[in-house]
Amino acid sequence: MEKGNVLVVGFAGVGKSTLIKTVIGEEAMGKATACGKKAGADFKIYDNKSIPFRLIDTTGIEPGTFKEKKGANAVKKWSGDIIKSGDKENQASVIWFCVDKYTAKYFPSTIDAFIDAVSVWKNVPIVVVITQAYTEEESAKVKEIVEKAFMSKKKYATRLSDIVYVIAKPRSEEDGTLLPPMGITELIEATNNLMPVGLQAAEKDVARYNLSRKRAMSHAVVSVATLTGITVGGVAAPVVDLMLLKPTESLEVESIFKIWGIKKTKKSKEVLKMMIDLGTVSITGKTLASALKVIPGINLGAAAVNAAISGTIIFALGEASAFVFEQIYTGKQTINDIEWVQKVVSDSLTSTALDKVTSSVKGLSKNADKTEILNAVVSSFAKKQLA
């Protein structure tokens, strides 16, 4: 089937590549092809067999009169050359204008250059994607600036089709909070709907693709949370204090819950609380720590062992949450079946936790850092899937 292209433009560093990576998937990132080589600029085109459209990553346009012209000219020249060469394959069908909170203030003075850069794509709809705004206030502020700038001229106003707010990658704040990715599946749906009719993917294909995105975003949250768990729990104490992990567990479970967009009800709150509590009671760090002591061949400091135990607990809880919420989202299970949820989560935490921890600590080097421990935890889980 023929696919449309999304031309991704915006200031340098707003998060274009990060967004593309989340939309297209990590595997597809490595397979980018240069497009419009003839056209002089080496913009990258990203494709993935199940995504309904391709994405074209452009050179970031830097604010500041001179630099801004350079970036904008590259986009303009590339676009003009694609049109001239009659290259059907690389025509833009939708444009994403990425604006982040840091550079939004430059947007009004740059909108002329932006619009000029994409002026050859005459009736192509523009979606403004607000990136890197991590609070409601921040995103509302950016939205207001963008709307005002587009409304300043009628010919701009008619091009603006939608404004979507995204977090493309989980964000961990200094104070330990964690913001899950958001807005990605909404952006994919909105974009598909704006494609010319002949290039639109069927709704069920988009739904299937978005399911795979939710899964990938859940895994991204599990990774970030596991790293936090490794940091928080990696102290040289005789046993892991599971209460230390509770804040990370809450953020992890709630973040994954948000990704799947399940309604917040009294029941769901109860289920979330139960899941988080299971994380602190199912296996005790003490049991694991003492069991590890009798396993031969493990010669690591307490901090590294505790870090691996903590990481394993957070990882197991996260994977179980992702599974539970996917089953509920797809209607295979209901949130009312508390016993089922309880069984899935406690099985994930108890059944093979010791095996997992053993296998992750066995390969660790003496001075393993957090990343090495994270990789060991992740691969100890991957092993089971293969078996």
Ligand X SMILES: Nc1nc2c(ncn2[C@@H]2O[C@H](COP(=O)(O)OP(=O)(O)OP(=O)(O)O)[C@@H](O)[C@H]2O)c(=O)[nH]1
Query: Binding residues for ligand X, per CB under 6 A?
Result: 12-18, 60, 131-132, 167-169, 171
Which C-beta is closer to Mg ion: that of 64 or that of 176?
Answer: 64
Which C-beta is closer to ligand X: that of 12 or that of 262?
Answer: 12
Cα 291 to Cα 303: distance, rounded to the nearest angstrom: 16
Binding partner of 362, given Mg ion, ligand X, none, CB within 5-8 angstroms per partner class: none
Nearest to 279 by CA among 326, 321, 308, 307: 321
The region of 14-22, 223-231, 262-270, 289-297 touching Mg ion under the rule CB under 5 A is 14-22
Output phi, psi for 240, to 5 deg: -80, 130
Which C-beta is closer to ligand X: that of 18 or that of 192?
Answer: 18
Cβ-based neighbour number of residue 208 at 10 Å: 12
For the bound state, the minimum distance from the C-beta of residue 293 to ligand X, rounded and expressed in Å, comes to 38
For the bound state, the minimum distance from the C-beta of residue 255 to Mg ion, rounded and expressed in Å, comes to 25
Classified as helix, coil or strand, 171 is: strand
Cα 117 to Cα 58: distance, rounded to the nearest angstrom: 11
What separation in angstroms does the CA of 214 have from each of 168, 357, 367? 12, 27, 35
For the bound state, the minimum distance from the C-beta of residue 14 to Mg ion, rounded and expressed in Å, comes to 9
CA dihedral 245, 246, 250, 251 (to 10 degrees): -40
Which C-beta is closer to Mg ion: that of 17 or that of 375?
Answer: 17
Q: Which residue is nearest to ligand X (CB)?
A: 60
For the bound state, the minimum distance from the C-beta of residue 213 to ligand X, rounded and expressed in Å, comes to 14
Binding partner of 359, given Mg ion, ligand X, none, CB within 5-8 angstroms per partner class: none
For the bound state, the minimum distance from the C-beta of residue 75 to Mg ion, rounded and expressed in Å, comes to 13
Cα 283 to Cα 233: distance, rounded to the nearest angstrom: 15
Q: Which residue is nearest to Mg ion (CB)?
A: 17
Cα 25 to Cα 94: distance, rounded to the nearest angstrom: 20
Strand partners, 34: 44
Cα 375 to Cα 370: distance, rounded to the nearest angstrom: 9
Which C-beta is closer to Mg ion: that of 61 or that of 178?
Answer: 61
Binding partner of 250, given ligand X, Mg ion, none, CB within 5-8 angstroms per partner class: none
Which C-beta is closer to ligand X: that of 24 or that of 335?
Answer: 24
Nearest to 259 by CA among 150, 161, 183, 368: 183
Structure token digits, residue 106 = 């430059």
For the bound state, the minimum distance from the C-beta of residue 107 to ligand X, rounded and expressed in Å, comes to 14
Binding partner of 306, given ligand X, Mg ion, none, CB within 5-8 angstroms per partner class: none
Q: Is 17 in the site for Mg ion (CB under 5 A)?
A: yes
312-338 per-residue burial string, b: 16 or more CB within 10 A, e: under 16: bbbbbbbbbbbbbbbbbeeeebebeee
The region of 15-23, 167-175, 177-185, 331-339 touching Mg ion under the rule CB under 5 A is 15-23
Which C-beta is closer to ligand X: that of 169 or that of 213?
Answer: 169
Binding partner of 314, given ligand X, Mg ion, none, CB within 5-8 angstroms per partner class: none
The region of 16-24, 120-128, 266-274, 355-363 touching Mg ion under the rule CB under 5 A is 16-24
For the bound state, the minimum distance from the C-beta of residue 18 to Mg ion, rounded and expressed in Å, comes to 8
Q: What's the distance, Cα to Cα, between the start and end of the chain in Å?
A: 37
Q: Are 117 and 73 in contact (CB under 8 A)?
A: yes
For the bound state, the minimum distance from the C-beta of residue 258 to ligand X, rounded and expressed in Å, comes to 15
Which C-beta is closer to ligand X: that of 57 or that of 309?
Answer: 57
Instruction: List residues binding Mg ion (CB under 5 A).
Output: 16-17
